[in-house]
Chains A and B, each alone.
Chain A
Amino acid sequence: MQMPCDVLLVEDHRIVRDGVRTMLERAAEFRVVGEVDSGTEAVQFCRKQAPDVVVMDLSLPGLNGMAATEEILRCAPATKIVILSMYEDDKSVIGAIRAGARGFVLKKASLGDLVDALRAVAKGGSYLSPQVSDKLLSRIQRGDMETAKLPDTLDVLSPRELQVLRLVAEGKTSKDIAVVLNLGLQTVRSYRKTMMKKLGVNNVASLTHLAMASGLTPHSAPAMRETATAE
């Protein structure tokens, strides 16, 4: 008998987690091994247990689903991420795919395709809800896929620096970032200093502005507000 596929549910609505778990329990090939309601907890869980698949909401308190996806893939590269999102806008879909998600399922009236997505991804494939793939195809056909590309300004940053920059722009303090990325506080501070030097800015507000102007954060307005009070 084949081993069941271990799944972690990351969703801040308990009622949704309960429903997804019930759906997965009906399919013998899945076993829900954990449920968490924030991106930070998801990263910590995956660091310890490396589940086969993570079902991840995009809009989460604290570390959002995109940043959590990147970090999970850094610490548990064999784990596959399936995004379960309310939105299918370009920024969410392309951002999630760029972050490394293997599946993107739109929250809708019929969620039968979530199980299809998990099956496909668990086997090493990928899956996009039909609404999402249709939009993506249209964009490719229109030829405007390059809009989501990071601007040249940020080319000088390493992937890790980009990750730190995204968290800075989300209003996280160095201490928060150290916890989320499992780094030392001094290391995070060095990253910030190096980034400021590379980007030619001399304060966190300018760094944040640059990150937001580059489309690095999904919820830029609140991030700007929070960052003003961050260290």
Chain B
Amino acid sequence: MLTSRLSQWLDAFERERNRERGELARLLHDEAGGKLTAAGIELTLLRMDAPPALNARLDALEQALESAFTSVRAASLSVAPDLAERISLAEALARMAEAAGRRYNGTLALSVNTEYCPDSDTARSLLRIAESLLGYLTVEAGATMVDLEVDAGPVMRVRANTQIARAQSSPRLGLTVAQYWAAKTNLRFLFGKAPEGSTIFLITR
């Protein structure tokens, strides 16, 4: 159960996090995106004037530029505070898991019902819960296997091969943030020991 003082602190923490991420998304869009677009236009104009002999080199340039566009677009979208609303929850979770997987040496499995489209509050909350919980389990709690499952309801099940006792004794910012988001959107947040030294988290209505 979160104390009101802790909830207030987490409100401020999440607001600041969102502000920073929003600012980063805006910077990527405005600074990098604007300049890349201008370069794209120049390239298009150059292609109109260039002799056919230059086509292969212009193609190579276009390909490199397009790759930069893709990276900036992905980076900007991944830090957008409203990611789950801008793309589907399933896609947002897949992106999040992919990013987490790149920094993680263990096994991360994700299974999401792609037909489940919750309202934007629930989607945002589920994404944040998954993100915080994964951060906690893979970094702080030292789990080497994490299974995350999301289904309609909503029902989110997370299974990790780490003991709950170990989880309780470590610093638990990620876990607390996940609980905070569940409480904020009236979701129940349960966790307990499971066979073979693992822990199961269940987030549901």
Contact = CB atoms under 8 A, between A and B. Distances in A.
Chains A and B form a bound pair: yes
Interface of A: 12-13, 15-16, 18-20, 22-23, 26, 59, 86-87, 89-92, 107-112, 142-144, 146-147, 151, 212-215, 218-222, 225
B80 to A, nearest CB: 8
Interface stretch (B69-77, B135-143, B195-203): B69-77
28 contacts: A15-B38, A16-B41, A19-B38, A19-B41, A23-B41, A59-B30, A86-B73, A87-B77, A89-B77, A89-B87, A90-B88, A107-B37, A108-B40, A109-B36, A109-B69, A110-B62, A110-B66, A111-B44, A143-B115, A144-B114, A144-B115, A151-B119, A213-B119, A215-B120, A219-B22, A219-B82, A220-B82, A222-B19
Contacts of A26: 45, 48
A213 B39 CA distance: 37
Interface in B55-69: 62-63, 65-66, 69
A16 B38 contact: yes
B18 interface: yes
Interface size classification for chain B: 35 or more
Contact of B44 (A86, A110, A147): A110
Contacts, number: 117
B98 interface: no
A109 B35 CA distance: 11
B85 interface: yes
B171 interface: no
B120 A213 contact: yes
A86 B19 contact: no
Contact of A91 (B22, B39, B47, B86): B86
A107 B69 contact: yes
A11 to B, nearest CB: 9
Interface in B1-27: 15, 18-19, 21-22, 26
Contacts of B34: 12-13, 15-16
**In the complex, the 6 A-B pairs of residues with the closest C-beta atoms, listed nearest first:** A19-B41, A109-B65, A13-B34, A221-B81, A109-B66, A15-B38
Given A13-B34, A108-B66, A221 B44 contact: no
Interface in B93-133: 114-115, 117, 119-121
Nearest to B121: A213
Interface centre among A142, A212, A218, A220 (most CB of B within 10 A): A220
Given A90-B88, A109-B62, A215-B85, A225 B15 contact: yes
Contact of B117 (A107, A144, A213): A144
Contacts of A212: 120
Contact of A225 (B19, B85, B119): B19
A212 B44 CA distance: 38
B33 interface: yes
